[in-house]
Amino acid sequence: CRYEQLYLFKEISAIGLQIDNSLFPALKRHTLHWANYSLGSELPGVLAVIPDRLHKVQTTRSWEFLRLESGGEPKKEWKYDAKFGEGVVIGNVDTGVSPTSQSFRDDGFGAPSGWRGKCDSGEDSTFHCNKKLIGARFFNAGIQVPNFLDQPVEGKQLNQTDLNSPRDYDGHGSHTLSTAGGGFVQGASAFGRGKGTAKGGSPRARVASYKACYTAGCSSLDILAAILAAVEDGVHVLSLSVGAPAADYVADLMAIGTLYAVHKGVAVVASAGNSGPQPGSVSNLAPWILTVGASTMDRDFAADVVFGNSTIKGRSLSASTLPVGQPYPMISGQNACAADQSIDNSTLCFPGSLDPAKVRGKIVVCTRGVNGRVEKGLVVKQAGGIGMVLCNDAGGVDIIADPHLLPAVHCSYSQCWDLFKHLQSTQ
């Protein structure tokens, strides 16, 4: 067989196929402007051939800062007029959901009416939905295709447990879904910092999770399948904090899927991306999508890294810090590579990639990407490290205050250049 059907999209008269590499030349001959993914297929009955693309996934005080509440008391427009989203179902396409999160407790919720969705636990028998988290599904046929456009997916690593369950093994999906529709969680804090009542924008809404993103990223084919399933299930709002470089709408499966959703009366909200501030760096630009960008906040969780005569400022929510006033040895993940590991893995501080003999008692500098930020700190700690500096890669813009498991600071790409130069000069 030279092709395998992955999905059948009856709603938009489309199919998702994995094709044999030998078919690429024929497709390129029969599809005009293949490189631009344009319309104009010469195959009988085929309007377009669209290659799959890889997408990437993109606080207690937020609502006070946005003036939706004052002194912790919600204003009437939010509480009474919008009723905190009562009766609304929010679908979230992301890395899944953690069903035991306090944000998704179903206290005070009755059985939903008109809901057609389901709770597909896959191979995870411990995963359960409730009257708040009323649906969970996962879509992974696209991400498991070995190659996109006859090219291997860079850094592709697939965890089979992650693949076959709606559970969130990354944290991004639980974060974005609780931001949109998380319930009231009193006394929330990160190691005592930022204390308050955590809640989403629509805390009385019900939520459903559609997992289409994994360690390697999000296949646009899986995203499309998730969008169409969410519409069929009966969601009222779709939230997608995923994105890829801008493409023509006719070649963007996410744009095509969301157009169908809007046509069916579903409001679609998507992230503007993590890139910028250069022109043309915003993603999810289709005019039927409400594209939302992050703003500044009136608080910060700052942390400093001091080396030589320099200080760089980052962010952290680590439970502990290293005592000030004494020097600590530092090593890059690249130079702490274990004998049986690749430098690429140790630079990213992958599990098992660091040599304990080189790391013990030191601060390790890790590069952001592929595996989770907090996981990198755990890898350092397990190897005997006493702290971590997490540096953005060239594509990273935001720096995030995470609740790390050891003293750790997240710094920008430009700041880390000075740190790496210092490490090279002191070797």
Q: What is the pLDDT of residue 357?
A: 94
Claim to verify: residue 319 and residue 287 sit in the same structural domain: no
pLDDT averaged over 10-residue windows placed end to end, the chain, 427 residues: 80 82 59 41 67 73 69 68 86 96 90 90 94 96 70 54 88 91 76 70 93 89 96 96 84 92 96 76 90 73 78 80 83 89 90 93 88 88 91 76 86 82 76
401 domain residue, yes or no: yes
Tell me the residue ranges of DSSP E strands in 289-419: 290-292, 302-307, 310-315, 330-332, 363-367, 387-391, 408-411
- DSSP-assigned states of every residue in 16-47: EEEE-GGGHHHHHHHBTTGGGT-S-B-STT-S
State the CATH number of the domain containing residue 154.
3.40.50.200
Domain end (from 270, 292, 314): 292
Claim to verify: residue 276 and residue 349 sit in the same structural domain: no
**Residue whose structure tokens are 């809901």:** 115
Q: What is the pLDDT of residue 29?
A: 53
25 domain residue, yes or no: no
Q: What is the pLDDT of residue 22?
A: 65
Rounded to the nearest 5 degrees, what angle is found at the Cα of 50, between the Cα atoms of 49 and 52? 140
Domain end (from 292, 315, 334): 292
Q: What is the pLDDT of residue 315?
A: 83
Q: What is the DSSP letter of 147?
A: E
Claim to verify: residue 247 and residue 348 sit in the same structural domain: no
Domain end (from 260, 292, 324): 292
Comparing CA positions, the residue from 175, 345, 153 lying closest to residue 244 is: 153
Tokens of 341: 């590991």
Comparing CA positions, the residue from 370, 373, 357 lying closest to residue 406 is: 373
What is each CA distance from 199 to 130, 185, 187, in whole angstroms?
Answer: 18, 6, 11
284 domain residue, yes or no: yes
> Domain of 73?
54-292
171 domain residue, yes or no: yes
Query: What gap in Å lies between CA 218 and CA 54, rounded to an integer?
Result: 6
Claim to verify: residue 265 and residue 323 sit in the same structural domain: no
